[in-house]
Structure 1
């Protein structure tokens, strides 16, 4: 079971991938097609950024609102910009509201550009009659993709809880954002494994915020 006490701060993000970057590696396949819908991707990456800051000891839940526990930068420009935005917000917002709010920012593109600069993804722009119509991000960091997927899969198939908070957080986001089938399909019944991960991370309020934000978005589309 996920608890805040299990969230020991990891190494400060830097050269190594942030949780948000790991989620992006899982989201794209080797041909560069996204394995989840655009709304799910937006909400999942937004939630992953909040999780990065939470795991670094910068954010906490105060009642129903997101609060800055420590304003000290973590050393990652994308995460530090978000931390500053949250600290400077004129009113309190729930994690769900921040997940939704992050959909209107360029954080995801900045993270993809950084992955491309490192050679972890390629940038593949498809043209029709000389006009750009689609950008794909083929994953080139096969090891990073495989290691991220195997950590999450092992957490629900070995019968033992993962030993690190990062795996808990990544697995919770996979289950919440609609990546369960892509990550778990080759390891058994993906719905059972996804639901098991949800049970294991039931106390993860960031993943809950992602689910709630997606529920609102889906209801607005179907209304």
Structure 2
């Protein structure tokens, strides 16, 4: 993989695909919501955004040097009136963000892109692991969950997005549900980050969870209709 640092959204999508088969572990719309929420969470960690009441406002417009983060930051800054986190999650999830992030992960070598024909009618694209990047992210998440590594800012934000999209249930499937839920909540809502950033991430968590729940319900309805 190239030397550029992965964003939290990249890490979320690595965890969202089975490393061997490349299949999605949650509904694709939930991945869309998670990727959008992860970008907002990282902008909060970088002290580029904060909450004004219930709305997300840019407090520092200086670019971060990452095209995904800077693109969203520019969109936020272009709004004369701040919008709630829910509005931004829904806007970003429909703008092809996940596809661009996946393409970038393939370019970096972290994922492979494999197209598969289904009944010769349509095709699916799977994203199995390309190198050890996803395994490293998974190991870091597990170490923080198990308490063998202290939670850092990035991993706290990542846990908030995993919880919001229910992806934590898939990657920590071997842990009893009540134990997993309590530990994930404790990490995501803990004191590893400052109060201002924590407030933004809680808002992003709620927005992502709401959008992901709606996306999951839409997926179930579509499946039932089919």
TM over 0.5: same fold?
yes
Match of 1:4?
A: none
For residue 133 of structure 1, give the secondary structure of its aligned residue in structure 2.
Answer: strand
Match of 1:86?
A: 76
For residue 36 of structure 1, give the secondary structure of its aligned residue in structure 2.
Answer: coil
Residue 81 of structure 1, CA deviation: 1.0
Q: Once superposed, what is the RMSD of the aligned Cα atoms?
A: 2.2
Q: Distance in 2 between matches of 1:43 and 1:155?
A: 23
Match of 1:18?
A: 7
Q: Distance in 2 between matches of 1:209 and 1:149?
A: 24
Q: Distance in 1 between matches of 2:101 and 2:115?
A: 17
Q: Distance in 2 between matches of 1:158 and 1:194?
A: 15
Residue 92 of structure 1, CA deviation: 2.1
Match of 2:176?
A: 189
CA separation of 1:34 and 1:60: change in aligned 2, threshold 3 A: same
Match of 1:55?
A: 45
TM-score, structure 2 normalization: 0.82
CA separation of 1:135 and 1:160: change in aligned 2, threshold 3 A: closer
In structure 2, stretches of 5+ residues that fail to align are: 190-197, 222-226
For residue 61 of structure 1, give the secondary structure of its aligned residue in structure 2.
Answer: strand
CA separation of 1:72 and 1:99: change in aligned 2, threshold 3 A: same
TM-score, structure 1 normalization: 0.83
For residue 185 of structure 1, give the secondary structure of its aligned residue in structure 2.
Answer: coil
My pick for the range that moved more, 63-72 or 171-180, is 171-180
Residue 77 of structure 1, CA deviation: 1.1
Residue 212 of structure 1, CA deviation: 2.2
Tell me, yes or no, if structure 1 residue 167 matches structure 2 residue 155. yes
In structure 1, stretches of 5+ residues that fail to align are: 1-13
Q: What CA deviation, in whole Å up to 9, does each residue of 1:30-75 have, x standing for no partner?
A: 2110001112111111101111211111111111000101101111
Residue 219 of structure 1, CA deviation: 6.2
